[in-house]
């Protein structure tokens, strides 16, 4: 079954508990699959990417490491690695692979960390587990925790039309439901801007599969130097349901 096809009517305020339950149940399937937000890079490609942003004296944070494939790569490159993971089952698997990483089992919105602590914050397929209204608050935390010259990198999917809600995860057996934000490029760009970031670089992964739900993107952001009052990104049009074309498409 195609991923994210069936929407389930649940109260959006329940999303942390619903997501924790789903990712606990999915943890062993994540362990055996080639995870990393389904962004199809090899370990060597990820290693090369991260080594451009961190070194042996760097501090890095991974938000939502899942079963820890990328965490292992980051923690082998970095002086200090922290991860915040909602699912205790996922965190237990990640800990086996990265015993030197400091893995905090918590909702990222309930964690307090030091200001300007990290050179890199990475969120692989995790920023889309929030309702749009919650995303600026998450990104503002990343903005606070990131050093002035640090980088925030993420993977997610981009969709021609924005949608969000509780979806059945169709690419895994078991009919697990979790909150899934299907960003349009416009909505994602606005959320990043509101959270204090501007996009420095983005890599779109072409989908060969006509059934695939959205196109995977890896984004790299830097902190905006001056925060304007929260509001719409002055450089983009308002996003409407018809939305703009996904970046990279004509």
CB of 116 to ligand SAM, least distance (A): 21
Token pair 């089952």 in the structure block, residue: 89
Site for ligand SAM, rule CB under 6 A: 16, 19, 23, 35-37, 64-66, 84-87, 90, 107-109, 124-126, 129
Please report the DSSP string for 79-132 in residue order: SEEEEEES-HHHHHHHHHH-TTSEEEES-GGG----TT-EEEEEEES-GGGS-G
Helix axes 43-51, 69-77, angle to 10 degrees: 40
Measured from the CB atom, the residue of 110 and 161 that comes closer to ligand SAM is: 110
C-alpha to C-alpha distance for 22 and 36, rounded to whole angstroms: 17
CB of 228 to ligand SAM, least distance (A): 27
Residue 171 CB burial class (10 angstroms; 0-12, 13-18, ≥19) = middle
CB of 144 to ligand SAM, least distance (A): 16
Distances from the Cα of 227 to the Cα of 57, 198, 216, 230, 233, angstroms: 29, 11, 28, 8, 11
Measured from the CB atom, the residue of 24 and 236 that comes closer to ligand SAM is: 24
CB of 46 to ligand SAM, least distance (A): 10
Measured from the CB atom, the residue of 19 and 75 that comes closer to ligand SAM is: 19
Measured from the CB atom, the residue of 65 and 196 that comes closer to ligand SAM is: 65
Measured from the CB atom, the residue of 116 and 134 that comes closer to ligand SAM is: 134
Scanning the chain, the segments in alpha helix (DSSP H) are: 15-32, 43-51, 69-77, 88-97, 135-145, 185-194
Measured from the CB atom, the residue of 111 and 198 that comes closer to ligand SAM is: 111
CB of 214 to ligand SAM, least distance (A): 13
In 3D, which of 71, 78, 110 has the Cα closest to residue 93?
A: 71
Residue 103 CB burial class (10 angstroms; 0-12, 13-18, ≥19) = buried
Measured from the CB atom, the residue of 135 and 239 that comes closer to ligand SAM is: 135
CB of 231 to ligand SAM, least distance (A): 25
C-alpha to C-alpha distance for 92 and 67, rounded to whole angstroms: 8
CB of 20 to ligand SAM, least distance (A): 7
């Amino acid at each position: 079954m195609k991923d994210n096809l069936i929407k389930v009517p649940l109260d959006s305020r329940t999303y942390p508990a619903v997501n924790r339950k789903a990712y606990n149940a999915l943890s062993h399937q994540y362990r055996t699959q080639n995870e990393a937000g389904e962004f199809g890079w090899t370990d060597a490609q990820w290693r090369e990417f991260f080594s451009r942003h961190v070194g042996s004296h760097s501090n890095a944070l991974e938000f939502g490491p899942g079963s820890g494939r990328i965490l292992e790569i980051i923690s082998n490159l970095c002086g200090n690695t922290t991860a915040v993971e909602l699912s205790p089952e996922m965190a237990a698997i990640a800990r086996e692979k990265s015993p030197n990483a400091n893995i905090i089992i918590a909702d990222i919105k309930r964690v307090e960390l030091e200001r300007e602590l990290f050179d890199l914050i990475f969120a692989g397929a995790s920023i889309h587990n929030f309702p749009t209204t919650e995303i600026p608050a998450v990104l503002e935390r990343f903005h606070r925790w990131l050093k002035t010259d640090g980088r925030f990198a993420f993977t997610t999917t981009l969709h021609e039309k924005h949608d969000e809600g509780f979806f059945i995860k169709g690419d895994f057996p078991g009919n697990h439901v979790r909150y899934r934000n299907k960003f349009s490029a416009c909505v994602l760009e606005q959320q990043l801007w509101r959270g204090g970031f501007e996009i420095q670089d983005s890599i779109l992964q072409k989908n060969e599969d006509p059934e695939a739900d959205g196109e995977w993107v890896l984004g790299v952001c830097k902190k905006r130097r001056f925060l304007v009052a929260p509001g719409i990104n002055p450089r983009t049009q308002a996003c409407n349901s018809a939305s703009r074309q996904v970046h990279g498409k004509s």
